[in-house]
Chain A
Amino acid sequence: DGGITQSPKYLFRKEGQNVTLSCEQNLNHDAMYWYRQDPGQGLRLIYYSQIVNDFQKGDIAEGYSVSREKKESFPLTVTSAQKNPTAFYLCASSILWDSNTEAFFGQGTRLTVV
């Protein structure tokens, strides 16, 4: 089923708390990405990574943090500094761009701040 898994599918968080979203892939992909999906705004890039222990900010990185300690894993932490965290979060992975470059998506995590 695509080989990229996000957990949990639904997540509720109280205001002021940090929360970490999991993303794991067994596709041996070097590149991994985090996107936020809001209605009418498409997929906005939060962070991306090409290699272990290295990552870059995307367009909306403020209030988020990531780590890439293993090739297979790219967890996203939504911090209390994120002003409007309620959204659908999608993780994706791909082979590096000098070959087939299809991005495979996880099934997403819907985060709700209560």
Chain B
Amino acid sequence: GENVEQHPSTLSVQEGDSAVIKCTYSDSASNYFPWYKQELGKRPQLIIDIRSNVGEKKDQRIAVTLNKTAKHFSLHITETQPEDSAVYFCADLMTTDSWGKFQFGAGTQVVVTP
């Protein structure tokens, strides 16, 4: 089953507005939460990440927040631009002493209209 749930599946915003994508995870062993952006026909690329000992991280127009108690983390994009249009994936990294694996959400198609 899906260990990372992501909402919404599609998001349409006007240029200049903010976009928020939310994810929940189920396993307490998760300790690293990256966000990837996939433009049409291209490979996913990391845009921001957060570790379990941090509550919030910001990089210019994008920010990620983490609520470990509720097992929620969110991506915030402010002042959206047309080039922000893409599919965004959240993920978590579950680790034990001997293995680790990335689990991805289903993705959010973000469309920024001029």
Contacts and interface: CB of A to CB of B under 8 A. Distances in A.
B93 interface: yes
B34 A103 contact: yes
- Say what secondary structure dominates the interface of chain B: strand
Nearest to B96: A97
Contacts of A94: 102
A64 interface: no
Contacts of A74: none
B14 interface: no
Contacts, number: 63
Q: Which bucket holds chain B's interface residue count?
A: 20 to 34
Contact of A102 (B34, B98, B100, B101): B34
A50 interface: yes
Contacts of B95: 97
Interface of A: 2, 31, 33, 35, 40-45, 48, 50, 56, 58-59, 90, 92, 94, 96-97, 101-103, 105-108
Interface of B: 1, 6, 9, 31-32, 34, 42-46, 49, 89, 91, 93, 95, 98-107
